[in-house]
């Protein structure tokens, strides 16, 4: 039987970075009809009631019904070490990340953290993530098994490293290729799961390993590829010593077949002009990780320039380098970073980044990230008066965006009233 949910329904008919806030439509008394895991109709509440008189009806009142949040750059194995006191990136990896990732050789531990991770993200309204695993195939199996049990659309891959990491976290060029191919063949395209080819970043891969993964990507072009790019200035200096003949950081990927349309390049803060030009030329995606960039002291992403150049930009928590599982908090951090750069992001742009923009970065905007007929029914219902502080602010609002913005800046999991995955209430 069809499910009809009522509330203030948010949908997109354009990109608010290009067309302004009017690219976002909010039906103040709207309805969404879901059946078989998909959205089959949207419109006014009255029209949907009339068209689907036998549907099960849930009235969410004045809550905002939004596409589920989409987080395109996370490290689920870092769940347990989130918000650990740290220094710079390399120190943080050596002190917290690598010791924790060693534990994922144990399938039971990997399963425990994967299930905990999805419990936390769903509680925050996130319905799709793209995650790094560890070098252990067991970590990929645990992640996809937990996602599949929940019916989630998810992306992940085995993280590959064959140098500059503890011996227990190193593979080889051959094993990285072989393990990744086996996992890809096992999981890619199963239900709502997608495999992502995953070199961690150039400093932890030899040229031979990058070339092996570039070859695997060329053989499997339906897959995405994810890695890190120009996160910190001392990282960039390190890359120059490891790849002395490379033109720049991006060239360490480009020269090994790891630059392309399905590439997801996390952080991308300190880019050279040539790097931006090449990323634009190939149609790559950049993933902005504002809470991580400020928490680890990496820098301020240049949203204005990257969007103006036509790059696809997603918004991500980067847990656990990022300090929150919440995409609301991540939107707030993106706003704050924009303010520091002199660019005031509109609430419509922030919400787009956390939904349709991130879906575009994952090249999945034809499936997720919007509320329209034919899309997968992943939705989050947001209470726009979830705390006393937010409620007293929204009470003064004269426009819908003035009602939404306090939740962006002060909201947390208490604002998440309901989450629907493939049309089912979680």
Domain boundary among 361, 389, 416: 361
- One domain, residues 291 and 169: yes
Measured distance CA(271)–CA(246) in Å, rounded: 14
CA separation, residue 202 to residues 150, 166, 251, 290, 321 (Å) = 34, 16, 10, 22, 18
Q: How far is C-alpha 369 from the chain's CA centre?
A: 11
CB-based contact 287:229 (threshold 8 Å)? no
- One domain, residues 31 and 163: no
Task: Find all residues with CB under 8 Å of 7, minimum gap 6, and list them.
Answer: 30, 59, 60, 61, 62, 63, 64, 65, 381
pLDDT of residue 381: 98
CB-based contact 230:275 (threshold 8 Å)? yes
- One domain, residues 297 and 392: no
- One domain, residues 160 and 271: yes
Domain of 274? 69-361
pLDDT of residue 390: 98
Q: Which one-letter DSSP state was computed for residue 191?
A: T
CB-based contact 387:422 (threshold 8 Å)? no
CATH of the domain at 403: 2.30.40.10
pLDDT of residue 8: 98
* pLDDT tens-digit series, residues 337-392: 999 999 999 999 999 999 999 999 999 999 999 999 999 999 999 999 999 999 99
* pLDDT tens-digit series, residues 267-319: 999 999 999 999 999 999 999 999 999 998 999 999 999 999 999 999 999 99
Measured distance CA(187)–CA(201) in Å, rounded: 23
CATH of the domain at 284: 3.20.20.140
Overall domain count for the chain: 2
Mean pLDDT by 10 residues, the chain (426 residues): 97 97 98 98 98 98 98 97 78 85 96 98 98 98 98 98 95 98 98 98 98 98 98 96 98 98 98 98 98 93 97 96 95 98 97 98 98 98 98 95 98 98 98
Tokens, residue 422: 């493939």
Q: Is the peptide bond before 320 cis (omega within 30 degrees of 0)?
A: yes
β-strand partners of 33: 4, 41
Task: Find all residues with CB under 8 Å of 59, minimum gap 6, and list them.
Answer: 5, 6, 7
Q: How far is C-alpha 216 from the chain's CA centre?
A: 23
- One domain, residues 409 and 356: no
- One domain, residues 414 and 377: yes
pLDDT of residue 232: 94
Q: Which one-letter DSSP state was computed for residue 194?
A: E
| pTM (global) more than 0.85 | yes
- One domain, residues 112 and 170: yes
- One domain, residues 244 and 191: yes
Measured distance CA(143)–CA(155) in Å, rounded: 9
- One domain, residues 297 and 388: no
Domain boundary among 338, 361, 384: 361
């Amino acid at each position: 039987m069809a499910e009809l949910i009522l509330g203030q329904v948010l949908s997109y008919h354009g990109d608010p970075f290009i067309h302004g806030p009017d690219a976002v439509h909010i039906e103040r008394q709207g309805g969404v009809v879901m059946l078989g895991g998909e959205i089959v109709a949207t419109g006014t509440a009255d029209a949907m009631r009339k068209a689907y008189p036998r549907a099960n009806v849930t009235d969410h009142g004045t809550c905002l019904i939004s596409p589920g949040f989409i987080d395109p750059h996370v490290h689920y194995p870092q769940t347990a070490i989130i918000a650990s006191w740290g220094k710079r990136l390399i120190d943080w990896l050596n002190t917290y990340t690598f010791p924790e990732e060693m534990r994922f050789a144990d399938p039971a531990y990997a399963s425990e953290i994967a299930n905990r991770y999805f419990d936390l993200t769903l509680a925050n309204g996130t319905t799709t993530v793209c995650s790094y695993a560890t070098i252990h195939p067991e970590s990929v199996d645990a992640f996809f098994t937990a996602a599949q049990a929940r019916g989630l659309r998810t992306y992940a891959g085995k993280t590959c490293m064959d140098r500059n990491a503890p011996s227990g976290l190193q593979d080889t060029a051959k094993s990285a290729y072989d393990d990744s191919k086996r996992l890809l063949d096992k999981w890619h395209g199963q239900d709502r799961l997608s495999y992502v080819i995953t070199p961690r970043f150039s400093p932890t891969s030899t040229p031979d390993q990058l070339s092996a993964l570039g070859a695997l990507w060329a053989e499997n072009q339906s897959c995405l590829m994810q890695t890190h790019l120009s996160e910190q200035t001392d990282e960039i200096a390190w890359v120059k010593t490891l790849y002395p003949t490379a033109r720049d950081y991006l060239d360490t990927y480009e020269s090994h077949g790891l630059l392309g349309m399905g590439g997801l390049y996390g952080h991308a803060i300190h880019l050279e002009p040539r790097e931006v030009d090449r990323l634009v030329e190939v149609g790559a995606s950049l993933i902005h990780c504002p809470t991580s960039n400020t928490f680890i002291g990496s820098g301020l992403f240049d949203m204005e320039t990257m969007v103006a150049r036509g790059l696809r930009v997603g918004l991500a928590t980067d847990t656990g380098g990022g300090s929150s599982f919440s995409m609301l908090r991540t939107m707030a951090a993106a706003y704050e970073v924009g303010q520091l750069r002199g660019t005031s992001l509109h609430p419509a742009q922030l919400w787009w980044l956390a939904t349709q923009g991130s879906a575009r970065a994952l090249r999945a905007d034809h499936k997720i990230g919007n509320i329209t007929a034919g899309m997968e029914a992943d939705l989050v219902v947001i209470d726009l008066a979830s705390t006393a502080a937010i409620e007293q602010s929204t009470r003064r609002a004269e426009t819908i965006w003035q009602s939404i913005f306090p939740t962006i800046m002060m909201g947390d999991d208490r604002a998440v009233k309901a989450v629907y995955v493939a049309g089912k209430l979680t």
